A = this chain, B = another copy of it.
Amino acid sequence: MKIGIVGGTGDIGEGMAMRLSPVFDVIVGSREQDKAETTCTMTRDMLKKRGKDCSLAGVSNQQAVDDADVVILAIPFRHLEMTLASLHGFEGKTIISPVNPMEKHEFFTFVPPADGSAALMVRRLLPKSAHICSAFNTIAANRWKALDEELEYSVPVCGDDESAKHDVMGIVNRISKLQAFDAGPLAVSCMVESLTPLVLNIARYNKMKDVGIQFR
């Protein structure tokens, strides 16, 4: 399965490439292909030191969409609409939104768009045949990148296409010790996206380094 990461040279995108590329064919997209290639070289080196092979290619964001079966939108919310407007070819693909619309002032708040959530905004902006799922929302960039530590977190996954959601849950379950949970249709993705400002506040107010979530 080929997984494309739009925004693959951002903090989250780089971390995802590190964890996903030993398991899947990963296509790292960036606005600048040079940066994508640099990320791939660095990731290959890091994994090699740990004795791990990987499958990585550094390309443009558009190429990452074109070449992938599953596209992860590793983009901050404020760039989401503009980035999607600059890309095409999402028809029939499975799209993962880990995007959390939030603001930081004195503390973090969940500030969804009029659609109700980032995932629902993605659904409005992409072709109807694209299968949108929200997943990976609560995993921080530095957790993705801490390759010597397992990711022992629960990952709620929302989506309206059962087959696409099944695939996404399968991807989640193959990464470290992540455990996917079906959290329902895309309509309730706001409840997943608001977990991230919640855990960021909990980390802050309880002086914790990172806070993850487990459902049990």
A residues within 8 Å of B by Cβ? 107-110, 152, 156, 181-185, 187-188, 190-192, 194-195, 197-199, 201-202, 204-206, 211-216
- Closest beta carbon of chain B to A212's beta carbon, Å: 6
* Bound Cα distance A40, B201 (Å): 38
Query: Which residues of chain B come closer than 8 Å to A156, judged between CB atoms?
Result: 198, 202
Contact B205 A184 (CB under 8 A): yes
**Binding site of A, secondary structure by majority: helix, strand, loop or mixed?**
mixed
Task: Decide: B191 and A110 in contact? CB cutoff 8 A.
Answer: yes
In whole angstroms, what is the CA distance A194 to B185 when docked? 15
Q: Do A199 and B182 touch (CB < 8 A)?
A: no
Q: 13 A-B contacts, Cβ less than 8 Å apart?
A: A108-B188, A109-B188, A156-B198, A181-B202, A182-B205, A184-B201, A184-B205, A191-B198, A191-B201, A199-B215, A213-B213, A214-B214, A214-B216
Nearest-neighbour CB distance to chain B for A203, whole angstroms, equals 9
State A110–B202 Cα separation when bound (angstroms): 21
For A202, what are the chain B residues with a Cβ–Cβ distance below 8 Å? 156, 181-184, 215
Contact of A194 among B182, B194, B205, B213 (CB under 8 A): B194
Among residues of B, the one whose C-beta sits closest to the C-beta of A110 is B191
Evaluate contact between A107 and B191: CB separation under 8 angstroms: no
The answer to whether A183 touches B211, judged by C-beta atoms less than 8 angstroms apart, is no
Tell me how far the C-beta of A102 lies from the nearest C-beta in chain B, rounded to whole angstroms. 10
In the assembly, what is the distance between CA of A182 and CA of B156, in Å?
Answer: 23
Provide the residues of chain B in CB contact with A205, threshold 8 Å: 181-184
What residues on B are CB-neighbors of A187 within 8 Å? 107, 109
Contact A206 B190 (CB under 8 A): no
Min C-beta distance of A207 to chain B, whole Å: 10
